[in-house]
Structure 1
């Protein structure tokens, strides 16, 4: 009876972990990560050893191409890294287990790209509006353009502040203001 009971406990444990992996996968969309790539990360995170693409494919029942693309995406975000095991010739990967490090890298990359784009767009829009203002003699239109440019300058100030915030996150300085939680760290 003990063997059956222990077998049931192992199954419950696996089901419970799988449920958490599903939550991770669902919430990774906040970072622009698809649920399938989120499941891949969760699987790597809970796997004690580094995994080959074949092992990932078997665990997730996805194509090797999907696994390769997912691993590449996660590696670009610094959420997985290559690993080595003596005697294994295939590429191995393991999750980056420091979620704080992963977050700061991912947050910084994503937000920096979008913020830089917004800064460029605001600059271009101000230039275009200024040209329109110079070409018109309509005082109402000139006034409206001035108001719009003021709003764009406000947006630029926000984006410059956001870039400083991103720098604080990327540098790890954020942990001076909001310390990492103490306690059990991932192995």
Structure 2
């Protein structure tokens, strides 16, 4: 790739304008990923960067503190949207954006959905056990037993959904999703 200083000024201006438009759009839509607009802008800047960047370089480029950059990069690392890279002779940590948006989507939603599934399954199982104990104690109380059974049926249905969601998450993590919904060819 040619360095940007080899590009004539009018062309570079158009390139930077186009990049800025995309970076703004990325920032506006990052609430989908649970992160702030400024962290979305950080990802967009790294996405278009021609080389890995240090926190200092990012802070200078975005006119933000190193602390803010560190927090933003940590969020992006947790979401697997940014990777730490090694470069011979570099004394500071370097970071680059994950360029594969398909992988970014799969990683993010797999991580977030697994957390949600786990929390909901724990609550459903706890409630099911509690209702089953009450079911045994309420022997002969038809109205109570009918309500308990109705709730247990709903809980069982929800648990089946979460079993399905776990299988769906497995397809994201394994890459099998792309057999069902292929990536577009470049």
- TM-score normalised per structure 1: 0.88
Match of 1:38 in 2: 40
In 1, the alpha carbon distance for the partners of 2:68 and 2:136 equals: 54
Secondary structure of residue in 2 paired with 1:44: helix
2:3 corresponding residue in structure 1 = none
Aligned length: 178
Q: Which residue pairs with 2:20 in the alignment?
A: 18
Q: Give the aligned partner of residue 82 of structure 1.
A: 84
2:180 is matched with 177
Separation in 2, partners of 1:171, 1:33: 25
Unaligned runs of 5+ in 2: 1-7
- Over residues 92-139 of structure 1, what are the superposed CA-to-partner deviations in whole Å (9 max), with x where a residue is unaligned? 111111122222211111111111111111111111122233333532
SS of residue in 1 equivalent to 2:105:
helix
Q: Partners in 1 of 2:40 and 2:160 — Cα distance?
A: 35
Runs (5+) with no aligned partner, structure 1: 1-5
- Give 1:153's match in structure 2, choosing from 153, 156, 161: 156
- Counterpart of 1:93 in 2: which secondary structure? strand
Per-residue displacement from partner, 1:32-54 (whole Å, max 9, x unpaired)? 22222211111100011111101
1:16 positional shift: 2.5
SS in 1 for 2:41: helix
Determine which structure has greater relative contact order: mean sequence separation of CA pairs < 8 Å that are 6+ residues apart, divided by chain length: 1
2:5 maps to which residue?
none
Separation in 2, partners of 1:47, 1:139: 68
What is the distance in 2 between the residues matched to 1:15 and 1:86? 33
Q: Aligned partners of 1:161 and 1:68: how far apart in 2? A: 37
Question: Does residue 50 in structure 1 map to residue 52 in structure 2?
Answer: yes
